[in-house]
């Protein structure tokens, strides 16, 4: 069994860490919000007082926090991981952050004799709770091989995409596809409803054809039933699309539909919906149409 550190035990990190504990691993946990750590302690985790302490005690340190600045602070800030970690240990960043920053973080850790791999996930809270996450990995093959048994406890579709940063690039691509699918499902169901068709029956019919998708299945139902509790929050998808658009600008690439999806998320957020599930993008479409699904 492994000696693990886990930093960031919120809506995603808590169930992920829970699977590691239940499998018999020793887990040292820390979060700026103590509630998640307290729940993990009941499962057998040991609470730590800082990121530094987690790095001192864990041989493999897993990070699961919201954004690039958060990862930078966890790793390199006051009482950060680099202050406690020793050569030969491994940092696994499972957050969704900038691919460019990830490469910089990996280089800085390598100078201290510490290997890093990026391993962002897809599947949301349900995937985390059911150990069914898709995990997209960037890093060295030999480091991936060491960590793979831990990934197997948290996910089902686990792929080493390439070197440091490539896991994050894959996650950005994933978030583009998800956002554009949400937008497409919202438009389709809204049109059906506006023309007088029952959107639920339209959704059922479409599930049997080439338009079928997980987004249509799960988020189409959310849109129709108005169940916008997260899930995956609008503000987090905004963050991911910002990463996509920023990377595209640096590469001289134009992503027009990604930009449109981001503006729709921005409209929902501006109306107070930042913490709604990302399927609530349909609300922006509804306002422009002056029509709600089934309304």
Around Cβ 223, how many Cβ atoms within 10 Å? Answer: 30
179 in Cβ contact with 257 (< 8 Å):
no
- One of 171, 194, 225, 239 is an active-site residue; which one? 171
Q: Is 287 a catalytic site residue? A: no
Residues 6+ apart with CB under 8 A from 116: 90, 91, 92, 93, 105, 106, 109, 110, 139, 164
Distance CA 98, CA 246 (A): 9
Cβ atoms within 10 Å, residue 14: 23
Q: Whole-angstrom Cα distance, residue 165 to residue 267?
A: 30
Map residue 141 onto helix, strand or coil.
helix
DSSP state of 18: H
Contacts of 224 (CB under 8 A, 6+ apart): 189, 199, 200, 203, 293, 294
Active site residues: 171
């Amino acid at each position: 069994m492994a000696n693990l550190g886990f930093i960031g035990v919120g809506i995603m990190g808590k169930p992920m860490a829970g699977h590691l504990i239940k499998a018999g691993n020793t887990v040292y946990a820390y979060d700026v919000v103590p509630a998640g750590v307290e729940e993990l302690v009941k499962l057998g985790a040991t609470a730590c007082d800082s990121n530094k302490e987690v790095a001192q005690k864990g041989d493999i340190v897993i990070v699961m926090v919201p954004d690039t600045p958060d990862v930078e602070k966890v790793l390199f800030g006051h009482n950060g991981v680099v202050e406690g970690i020793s050569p030969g240990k491994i940092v696994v960043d499972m957050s969704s952050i900038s691919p460019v920053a990830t490469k910089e973080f990996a280089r800085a850790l390598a100078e201290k004799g510490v290997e890093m791999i990026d391993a962002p996930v897809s599947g949301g809270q349900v995937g985390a709770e059911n150990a069914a996450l898709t995990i997209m990995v960037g890093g060295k093959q030999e480091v991936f091989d060491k960590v793979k048994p831990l990934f197997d406890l948290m996910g089902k579709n686990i792929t080493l995409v390439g070197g440091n940063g490539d896991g994050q690039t894959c996650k950005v691509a994933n978030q583009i596809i998800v956002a554009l699918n949400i937008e497409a499902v919202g438009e389709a169901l809204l049109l059906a409803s506006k023309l007088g068709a029952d959107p639920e029956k339209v959704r059922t019919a479409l599930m049997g054809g080439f338009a079928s998708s997980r987004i249509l299945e799960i988020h189409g139902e959310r849109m129709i039933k108005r169940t916008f509790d997260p899930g995956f929050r609008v503000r987090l998808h905004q963050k991911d699309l910002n990463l996509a658009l920023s990377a595209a600008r640096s590469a001289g690439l134009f992503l027009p539909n990604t930009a449109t999806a981001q503006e729709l998320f921005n409209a929902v957020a501006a109306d107070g919906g930042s913490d709604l599930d990302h399927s609530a993008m349909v609300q922006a479409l509804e306002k422009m149409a002056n029509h709600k699904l089934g309304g």
